[in-house]
Amino acid sequence: MRAAMLVLMAAVLGASGCDGKGPTAPTAPAAPASPAASYAVTTVSITSDPEDFVGRGRSMTFTLENSQFTANVNSDGAYLSLVIRPRSGTLPVWSFLVTSPKGSRISPGTYPTTRSFLSDGWAADFGGDGRGCGRTTGRIVVHAFDFIEVNQALKNFRASFEQHCEGAPPVLRGEVAVLADPWR
């Protein structure tokens, strides 16, 4: 954790021009990647540290070939729930939840996340196999989000995330690309 903080501090200091060379001009953020350009089909993949409570050191990839996906979006686009049911029947059901702060909708950007009953900010939570976190910390990079407001059908969602259960150092990292309406 300390090493990660030092790397982050170095990146911030270098980006802010505190390297002895004076201020640097800000650069325009790169355009978020289009889900269709990065993925041709719905894919959810995760990797985790061995000490991570949810992932337990596993790496898993779910696609339409090996899993069934169910997505729910609320009417204002502030909540997305994705349930992943592996087709083999031997693997557990998994879920991914994203919420934006009250009064805003899910939109492209990079956000610190938390999940607790007292949180009013961005939240991201991945769980399954009977394992979940009471409180999570981490971050999410939303690359794309589009849904049909009339029937609340998800069109596409693309995000990368990292999650720490109970704020502990072990991490679970994930990549989500959902191409729906119709599922592909």
Do the domain assignments include residue 32?
no
Sheet strands side by side (includes 94-99): 67-73, 79-86, 94-99, 123-128
pTM of full prediction above 0.85: no
Closest CA to 85 of 97, 100, 96: 96
The residue range of the domain holding 121 is 38-179
pLDDT digits (tens, 9 = 90+) for 167-177: 899 999 999 99
The band of 16, judged by pLDDT with boundaries at 50, 70 and 90, is very low
35-81, pLDDT tens digit by residue? 434 677 899 999 999 999 999 999 999 999 999 999 999 989 999 99
**Intra-chain end-to-end CA distance of the chain, in Å:** 38
Q: What pLDDT, in 10s, does the model give residues 70-98?
A: 999 998 999 999 999 998 877 789 999 99
Residue 7 lies in a domain: no
**Residue 4 belongs to some domain of the structure:** no
Instruction: Assign 183 a pLDDT band (cuts: 50, 70, 90).
Output: confident
Measured CA to CA, the distance from residue 171 to residue 100 in angstroms comes to: 21
Whether residue 80 lies inside any domain: the answer is yes
Closest CA to 115 of 129, 102, 99: 99
Question: Is omega for the bond preceding 170 within 30 degrees of 0, making it cis?
Answer: no
Number of domains in the chain: 1
- Whether 72 is in a domain gets the answer yes
